[in-house]
Structure 1
Amino acid sequence: MKKSISGLILALSLGLFNYSHASAGPLSEENVRPIEVVANGEFIKMDVHPLMNNNRLFVPIRALASLGLSYSFNPTTRVATVQNKDGDYLKISANSKTAYKNGKIIQMDTPAQNSNGRILVPIRFVSETLGYNVQFESIRKFVFVNSKDYSFDSKLLYQDDLQAARKAAIALPINTDFKTLGTLDGYRLHQYTFPAGRADTYFFNDGIYTFVQVKDGKAIAIGQLYRTERKTSLAAGDVSPEMSLDTDPIMEAYDHRSVIFFENNDGTATTGYHDDKNERVNINTKMNIYSDIIQKLPNHR
């Protein structure tokens, strides 16, 4: 039965990741995957994504409105004003290091930027000035922004609504206690595989397999595996380069009933699984927001 899931994973991987594993030169903006933002456990829908510039990460200040910020922008002065629920406010101008908090001048170490009419600010500035906890996860290139009073409810992983439980699982930052394998160049489509009926363990694949367990409200990577075009393998964490997707103990939870959620390159997502008659079922949906990759399935799959 393990061979069924292993073969399916391989087939999907070959179809999804038909890209070179290294770029010969600078990546174009079209080939760089947009950075997603998760605020207080929810993926944020954005028309402008965070960007990396000179190793500095900038986030759109407007995207943080879900954290209780009010936002306004003066198109004449090009000044953005944000205010939190406590009444503290910031005034920020594009291309300027000078900002104002409650009317007092404060300096940013790098200027805010303007992208398609949106003000983007350095992530460190968001953390230190607005009082949020900010974390950047390098495996999937996600930014996690949490208010000081936010805490993840572990019960979400075991609720009856399995779709919501899995969305909660992928909205947790993946933590590691080992040196990761890094990331592959170019736009990488994402894929998640969950055991049937469960949300507390999964493996993520964007050309590199990352095996994750969620315990005590934290998503912990067990290890990573990368298979090169030359059939050699690289591994990190508690994973061997010789790991078999059929027989390794990590794969014990995964069998022919496992569910695979993956992106397509046309703005849609597909869920694949085998039904009770062991027939292949694919369900497609439009992705309006990243978490739409996790679809609702019948029979507690």
Structure 2
Amino acid sequence: MKKWMTATVAFFSIVGILVSGSSISAAPQKPIVVYIDGALQDNVLTVNGRTMVQLIAFKDPANLVYSYEQATKTIIVTNKEMKTTVRLNGGSTTALVNGKIVKLDAPVTIKEGRTYLPLRFLSETLGGTLKYNSTNKTLIVRTPSGQERFKTLMSGKLEDARTIAIHTPTTLVDKEIVTNGEGFHTSYTFPKGEALRYQVQYRGLIKYIEINSDGIAVVKWQKDTVGTNGEAGKKPEDFKESVYFLDNFMAEMLTYGTIDSKGVYDEVGIVYYTIHKNFNGIELMPIEGETRTDVQINDMEQ
């Protein structure tokens, strides 16, 4: 964790330094919808007909190292596994990749204090993956670590996939429902054997989330259970047999178990964080005898 935090702080510092360079106007074209590691990118530009994303969005502390060379005002990005080093300057139409000049499809662009780079260059040069979904006209991008998480999410061990699922950024298909309930615990409910759809309840707000074949977590339904803010979306059918995990912050404990088709709860385990210190931060646990039933394999897993 400390190593990840150090790399992340360095990365954000570099982005802040680079934005002080010269700015380049971007053509007022409607950008395409882009997801990076499952997160919808709100700030996307189209420059010279190319999709540009913020450098800050393509972050992968486990694989990428960022540094800044003050004398030449150069940002340096290194992929440790690929042994690839990229050197970039604000306003430049070229980059140095392992010492060789590479022409960019669009110049390094600085707009409103943020640095943008061509998306395809970022993903291909730094070891990411890129896919265009023609059905909903979106670009799906993953960093090296993001691609590994995606593989686990789609076809990995059930408990690992569920953990990735609940930490995948969500996208709304309807208005956002807010609630004024108190946040003493968070509960997650999954259909038995599944990781790609679940319900989460926090502060009295229930959300039903489905993860599609591109790894995008979509909030299909929301309901305020303690106030008068109503609901949005379509309520899902009952999960029938399911499993639950209740993370109680106040009591510093995690309870988990099964729910039968009649809605009867059966608690199968308790983790006391003050006693089982190795489990601090663990939000889900494996359920004995449960096997995964929703494995998916697609082209981005190859």
Q: What is the TM-score with the length of structure 1 in the denominator?
A: 0.48
Q: What is the TM-score with the length of structure 2 in the denominator?
A: 0.48
Please identify the structure whose Cα radius of gyration is greater. Answer: 2
Structure with more contact order per residue of length (Cα contacts < 8 Å, sep ≥ 6): 1
